[in-house]
């Protein structure tokens, strides 16, 4: 997958509003593979909605979203499964980790599906993100900041053309945010993938080609 296009896309919830001032909604924009884009937004401006539309688990929008020119409304369940496994990775704002599994198991449940990373690579990431000692702890007993790092590792355990990170650093200190950014940058460069980061304040420190206001 090389391009994601948004044509006149708008959440249905916004349809009644008189004027929309946004770089994304109600415009024609293209997300290119290999680019890094920051989407700045204030709370309630629809960034999580944007992620959920592109990831296919909500479709309450107007306009057209296309993957390489194909309208995503026409995709079936199986196609979405393949896309989520091989083309688009997502770090959800609400993380969507499994609280009763350990940090390690949460990553394994994804990696055993894709078989993308070796155990050593994953262990190394745990160490770099300073949560190696938490690998065998149930995620439910970890702080949200620690959980965000686990979720990042999980998101990286798959091949992708685009990776979306919905407020990835909301609960991270600067040092850990920088480690996260460099990890992400390495992996994205290696896979020549597009990176889309949303933020309501603190940005993930990366070289962005474009910064859009939602």
Partner 1 sequence: MKLIWKLLRHHISVAQLAGFFLANLCGMVIVLLGIQFYNDVLPIFTQSDSFLKKDYIVVSKKVSTLGSFLGRSNQFSNVDIEEVKEQPFTESVGPFTSSHFQVSAGLGIEGIQMSTAMFFESVPDEFVDIETDKWRFTPGDGTIPIIIPRNYLNLYNFGFAQSRSLPQISEGLMGTISLDIRIAGKGKRDNYKGRIVGFSNRLNTILVPDAFMKWANTQYAEGKQKGPSRLIIEVNNPTDERIARFFEDKGYETENDKLDNGKAAWFLRIIVGIVLSVGLVISILSLYILMLSIFLLLQKNTYKLENLLLIGYSTRKVAFPYQAMTVLLNGLVLVLSTAIVLLVRHVYSNLMDEMGLPIDTGAPWLAIGAGIVLFLIVSAINTTLIYRKMKSLF
Query: In angstroms, rounded to a whole number, what is the distance separating the alpha carbons of residues 66 and 6?
Result: 7
Q: Are strands 3-11 and 28-32 parallel, antiparallel or unpaired?
A: antiparallel
Whether 65 and 5 have beta carbons less than 8 Å apart is answered as yes
Q: CB-wise, 24 or 90, nearer to partner 1? A: 90
Please give the DSSP secondary-structure letter assigned to residue 12.
G
Q: CB-wise, 23 or 144, nearer to partner 1? A: 144
Minimum CB separation of residue 109 from partner 1 in Å reads 5
Q: CB-wise, 38 or 165, nearer to partner 1? A: 165
Whether 96 and 48 have beta carbons less than 8 Å apart is answered as no
Minimum CB separation of residue 19 from partner 1 in Å reads 34
Q: CB-wise, 159 or 201, nearer to partner 1? A: 159
Whether 27 and 6 have beta carbons less than 8 Å apart is answered as yes
Query: In angstroms, rounded to a whole number, what is the distance separating the alpha carbons of residues 8 and 28?
Result: 6
Q: Which residues bind partner 1 (CB under 8 A)?
A: 55, 57, 77-78, 81, 84-85, 90, 92, 96, 98, 100-101, 105, 108-110, 112-114, 154, 158
């Amino acid at each position: 997958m090389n391009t994601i296009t948004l044509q006149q896309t708008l959440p249905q919830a916004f349809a009644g509003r008189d004027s929309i001032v946004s770089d994304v909604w109600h415009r024609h924009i293209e997300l290119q593979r290999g680019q890094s884009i920051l989407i700045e937004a204030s709370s309630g401006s629809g960034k999580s909605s944007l992620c959920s539309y592109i990831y296919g688990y909500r479709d309450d929008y107007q306009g057209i979203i296309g993957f390489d020119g194909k309208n995503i409304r026409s995709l079936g369940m199986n196609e979405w499964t393949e896309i989520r496994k091989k083309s688009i990775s997502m770090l959800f704002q609400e993380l969507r980790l499994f609280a009763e599994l350990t940090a390690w198991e949460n990553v394994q449940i994804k990696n055993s599906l894709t078989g993308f990373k070796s155990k050593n690579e994953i262990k190394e990431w745990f160490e770099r993100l300073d949560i190696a000692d938490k690998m065998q702890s149930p995620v439910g007993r970890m702080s949200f900041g620690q959980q965000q790092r686990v979720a990042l590792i999980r998101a990286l355990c798959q091949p992708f053309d685009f990776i979306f990170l919905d407020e990835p650093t909301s609960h991270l200190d600067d040092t850990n945010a920088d480690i996260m950014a460099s990890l992400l940058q390495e992996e994205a460069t290696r896979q020549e993938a597009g990176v889309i980061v949303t933020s309501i304040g603190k940005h993930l420190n990366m070289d962005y080609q474009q910064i859009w206001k939602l």
